Amino acid sequence: MTAQNGKDLLIKIDMDDTGNFSTLAGLRATRISLNAESVDVTSLESQGGWRELLCGAGVKSASIAGSGIFKDDATDARARQIFFDGEVPDFQVIVPDFGILQGAFMITGIEYAGSHNGEATFEMSMASAGELSFTAL
């Protein structure tokens, strides 16, 4: 894989619960974290005293975070609606030359900031709320 442009990592939000995805506008920085808990099944009989892990067990999760500026009324309003209504709609995360992750996420935090002589900014964090699908690009 060659070097990728950071602006090509996109977070898309389902605008109306019908699969109509729009890029969450105004983002300047985005990141995704994929996690899988391990389940230790080591016993006195484990070969050489090495730890053993149970394959396919444990909780998988993903978290998404983004920060940026207000730019698009529709996606900003949808994100606020999702947070205040406690919805868990589908999001898409497009990672260039890797693939598309899609599934339900809960917006777990929104932070707003601004300075006297600067633009208003926001930070948003999301946590997976179900099984995610992956489509390779």
pLDDT by 10s per residue, the chain, length 137: 677 777 778 899 999 989 999 988 778 888 999 999 999 999 999 999 999 999 988 999 999 999 988 777 888 899 999 999 999 999 999 988 889 999 999 999 999 999 899 888 899 999 999 999 999 98
The pTM score is: 0.84
CA distance 135 to 8: 16
Please give the single-letter amino acid code of residue 108.
T
Q: Is 87 exposed, middle or buried (0-12, 13-18, 19+ CB in 10 A)?
A: middle
Give yes or no for a contact between 96 and 10, defined as CB atoms under 8 angstroms apart. no
Closest CA to 16 of 86, 64, 87, 65: 87
A 10 A CB-CB count for 88 gives 17
Half-sphere exposure of 116 (CA within 13 A, CB side): 0
User: Which domains are assigned to the chain?
Assistant: 6-136 (2.30.110)
Q: Which amino acid is at 39?
A: V
First to last CA, the chain: 12
- Tally the residues of the chain: 137
